[in-house]
Structure formats: C-alpha cells, structure tokens
C-alpha cells in the first residue's frame, strides 16, 4: 500500500512511525517532511498548501491513502479535492475544518447548539470593537478569527492594552486575512485541558488523554507556543471528567454538526476550560495536537492504518481502539527564541546519546520536526526541532527523557525543564 503523509512536524513523524508498525506493509511518502522522515519515508518536495500539486502527486504515484497532519491544508479543502479525484484521504473536509479555521464560525456554532463557551462578540471594525471594550471589565480575551499558527490569542488586562492589540490586528494587519474578524470574549479563570476524539461522522471514540505544555517557560510562564512538551495520560483528567466532556461538549458538537449537514470525519480536538464544575469550549482543532499526538500515538496498540480506513469508510464503530497501559512523555527541543525570532541552520549532534537500559515495556523515540538533512548531516530548520519521547511505567521515564534531551546537542537548544513533573503525582 502507498501512503502519503502531509506535514513536516513531530506529529507527522509519529504518524509515520505508527504506520510503520501497521500490519500493512506500507511504502510511505511525506510532503514536505523533515530531516527524520527522510529516513523512514520518501520526502516529497511539495508544500502543504499546494493542493493541486499534492493531488497530482497522489494520482501519478497511485497513492492508496493520504493522511493530513496540519490544519492549513485541511482548511484549504484538501480533503474535498482528493475525494473529488477518487483518492482516499484522512482528515476533515473544508466545511468541517471551519471549526478551527474560523473562530467566529466555531463560536456561533457553539451558541446555536447551546454548548458552553465564553460570552463573546465578533467585530470587523476597529471603532466598534473599541466602543465595546470600553464598557467591558478586564481581563478580556481578544482573538483573530482565522488561523494564526497559535499566535492569534491575547489576554489583555487593561483597556489600553486591548486598544493596542486591536490596533495591531485591524490597522497594522499583523494577521493579514486571518485578522479581518476579531472575537472579543470574556476571560474564563479555571483549569484548562485539551481533549481529543476520532469520529467517522457516525460514531466516535475518545483517544487516551494527554496534556500539552503550551507556555514557553517553566511553570507555565511566558508566551504561548504550539506546545513545548506533552504527557499522556493527563494526570488531572478523571474518568468522571472525561464523561462530562463527552456528554456536554463532544456529543452535542457531533450532533450539532450532523444536524447542520456537516460531514465531520477525522479528529475533533476541544480546548476546554473547567470553571465552577462546568466545561467550556475555548477552541476547536480539527486535527491531532502537536506534541500531544507524539505522547498518545507511541501508546497506540491497534493498527493506525486500519483506524484511518475505518474513519474514511464509516465503520469506526467496529474498530477496536486500544492503547497500552504505559505513561508517556514528550519533551520538545526548540530553537532559542521560539515562538518569536530564532536562528536555524545549526548542526545537530547525536554523538553523546546515552545508552539507556530499557525496563519492562519501556521505549524511547526521537521524532524530528524542524530539522533537515544535508549531505548526511542534520541541521536545525524550525522553531520546534526534535521531540524526545519515552514511555514506561515508572517515574524513570522522565529522567530518561531528560537524559536524552541533555545529550543531543545543537547551538541555541532550548527546552523546558518541568515536563512530566506531575505525571506520577
């Protein structure tokens, strides 16, 4: 079977790893891929937003299954185009992807379907937005409606601050088209978590829980990033809480989509805030979280290719989704300066990697993200560079992950030192 994976991050690296563990003998291509996918797949130099280029590649190479990692191609309608051309593809179609690509659509959808979310207003005009926030108590949350690579959300503590943010979005166009519409919403003070399920549009199955570390600095300080690390399971999510999220968020969302004629097949990722015992939706993503996917998918026991096919073919109900009983940790090694400015092009050395013993059921992986391979050597090529993942049953997995993190070397290497601290508490 020929499988094409679209994307170039750690998420796509772990998806390829899981495909390689499938019972199906797969020839894997990755577009555009990274320095690591170079090894276990064939990198295809087509950008993730070049939908026609990807369709042509899939047709010419008789690709049997395409798996889309990131939100950008999904929001551009890659699934619709592939399907139109008779090509099998895993991911949400363009309309379903609006849940992530338009925060305005998502908020309106939640409201229409009586699913809890922070009170909000949308604006397309600077002055109207300013007049509205004048009356509002702070803190307030200001969000660009469109895709902004995780950088489009601001929590503002003062009217002056809010004014500056609105000025940068509306008048300085810092997000381009993605900032044409802006959401202003109430600040919810609570406990935040993310939750993912997979659905074929008929039934759904929860993925095991995970937790990502969004902030750049230890102790959840500093700027928001795509994610500096992840663990699975999420130590703060009880079965009771999972049940509540399924009943009050996931099921009404999937029902609402069905009712509104949206054919939703793929991953539904809810960013959730728990406040006074109620679960509020902060945002939706229509794809696996990155690095949550790394922490989750190394624990997958069942066959990922069969999983993707069961979603596409609409028989997820009969698929048995199983994960192992390990715990897992993923530490992101990043380029110093990420999520803002950073330099790349530094050689990565794996020469000092420790020889770690493997206890019962333990395993380690280094998944590439922002790396490239030139003449047999690896170089940094992005903000998030490598993902150190370890799974096992004892707190030793955290030490082992840090042992690896310390001993992979490149200039300007940066990582958080507190990933996994709460995993065994």
Binding site for ligand AMP (CB under 6 A): 118, 141, 143, 153, 155, 185, 187-188, 192, 214, 224, 271, 282-283
Task: Quote the CA–CA distance of 151 and 131 in Å, as a whole number.
Answer: 24
Residue 12 vs 283, nearer CB to ligand AMP: 283
Residue 153, binding choice from ligand AMP, ligand GLY, none, Cβ under 5 to 8 Å by partner class: ligand AMP
Residue 19: name the closest of 81, 90, 74, 96 by CA: 90
- Identify whether the C-beta of residue 68 lies closer than 8 Å to the C-beta of residue 74: yes
Using the contact rule CB under 6 A, the part of the chain among 282-290, 327-335, 343-351, 354-362 near ligand GLY is 282-290
The least CB distance from residue 45 to ligand AMP, in Å, is 31
Where does 281-395 have alpha helices with state H?
292-297, 304-313
Site for ligand GLY contains 212 (CB under 6 A): yes
Task: Quote the CA–CA distance of 298 and 364 in Å, as a whole number.
Answer: 9
The least CB distance from residue 320 to ligand GLY, in Å, is 26
Site for ligand GLY contains 10 (CB under 6 A): no
Residue 306, binding choice from ligand GLY, ligand AMP, none, Cβ under 5 to 8 Å by partner class: none
Question: In whole angstroms, how far apart are CA 389 and each of 10, 67, 170, 294, 375?
Answer: 10, 22, 41, 7, 26
Residue 11 vs 299, nearer CB to ligand GLY: 11
Among 36, 227, 382, 420, binds ligand GLY (CB under 6 A): 227
What is the full DSSP assignment across 272-306? Answer: EEEETTEEEEEEEESS--TTHHHHHHTTB-S-HHH
Task: Quote the CA–CA distance of 234 and 194 in Å, as a whole number.
Answer: 9
Task: Quote the CA–CA distance of 124 and 178 in Å, as a whole number.
Answer: 11
Residue 142 vs 257, nearer CB to ligand AMP: 142
The least CB distance from residue 100 to ligand GLY, in Å, is 9
Using the contact rule CB under 6 A, the part of the chain among 78-86, 273-281, 283-291, 357-365 near ligand GLY is 283-291
Task: Quote the CA–CA distance of 87 and 66 in Å, as a whole number.
Answer: 8
For residue 160, the tally of other CB atoms under 10 A from its CB is 10
Q: Which residue is at the shortest CB distance from ligand GLY?
A: 227
Task: Quote the CA–CA distance of 415 and 228 in Å, as a whole number.
Answer: 7
Binding marks (x or -) toward ligand GLY, 284..303, rule CB under 6 A? -x---xx-x-----------
Site for ligand GLY contains 12 (CB under 6 A): no
Residue 104, binding choice from ligand AMP, ligand GLY, none, Cβ under 5 to 8 Å by partner class: none
Residue 282, binding choice from ligand AMP, ligand GLY, none, Cβ under 5 to 8 Å by partner class: ligand AMP
**How many residues are there in the chain?**
425
Residues that bind ligand GLY (CB under 6 A): 150, 212, 226-227, 285, 289-290, 292
């Amino acid at each position: 079977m020929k499988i094409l994976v679209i994307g170039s991050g750690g998420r796509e690296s772990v998806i390829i790893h899981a495909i390689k563990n499938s019972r199906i003998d797969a020839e894997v291509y990755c577009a555009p891929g990274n320095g690591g996918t170079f090894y276990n797949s064939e990198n295809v130099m087509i950008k993730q937003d070049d939908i026609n280029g990807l369709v042509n590649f899939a047709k010419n190479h008789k690709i049997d299954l395409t798996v889309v990692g990131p939100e950008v191609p999904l929001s551009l309608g890659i699934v619709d185009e592939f399907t139109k051309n008779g090509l099998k593809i895993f991911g949400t179609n363009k309309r379903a992807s609006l849940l992530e690509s338009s925060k305005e659509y998502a908020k309106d959808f939640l409201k229409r379907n009586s699913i809890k979310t922070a009170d909000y207003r949308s604006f397309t005009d600077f002055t109207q937005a300013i007049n509205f926030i004048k009356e509002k108590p702070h803190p307030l949350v200001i969000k660009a409606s469109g895709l902004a690579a995780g950088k489009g959300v601001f929590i503002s503590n003062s009217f002056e601050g809010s004014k500056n943010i609105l000025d940068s979005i509306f008048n300085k166009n810092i997000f381009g088209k993605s900032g044409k519409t802006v959401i202003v919403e109430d600040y919810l003070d609570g406990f935040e978590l993310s939750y993912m399920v997979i659905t074929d549009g008929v039934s759904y199955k929860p993925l095991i829980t995970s937790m990502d570390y969004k902030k750049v600095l230890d102790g959840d300080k500093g700027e928001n990033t795509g994610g500096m690390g992840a663990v699975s399971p999420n130590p703060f999510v009880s079965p009771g809480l999972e049940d509540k999220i399924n009943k009050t968020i996931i099921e009404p969302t999937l029902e609402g989509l069905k009712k509104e004629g949206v054919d939703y097949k793929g991953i539904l990722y809810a960013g959730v805030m728990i406040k006074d015992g109620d679960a509020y939706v902060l945002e939706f993503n229509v794809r696996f979280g990155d690095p949550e996917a790394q922490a989750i998918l190394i624990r997958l026991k069942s066959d990922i290719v069969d999983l993707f096919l069961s979603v596409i073919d609409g028989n997820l109900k009969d698929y048995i989704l199983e994960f192992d009983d390990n715990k897992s940790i993923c530490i992101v090694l990043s380029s110093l300066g990420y999520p803002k400015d950073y330099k790349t092009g530094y050689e990565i050395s794996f020469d000092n990697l420790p020889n770690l013993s493997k206890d019962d059921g333990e395993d380690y992986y280094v998944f590439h993200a922002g790396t490239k391979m030139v003449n047999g050597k690896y170089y940094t090529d992005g903000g998030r560079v490598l993902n150190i993942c370890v799974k096992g049953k004892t707190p030793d997995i955290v030490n082992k992950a840090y042992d690896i993190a310390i001993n992979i070397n490149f200039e300007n290497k940066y990582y958080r030192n507190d990933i996994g601290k709460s995993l065994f508490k």
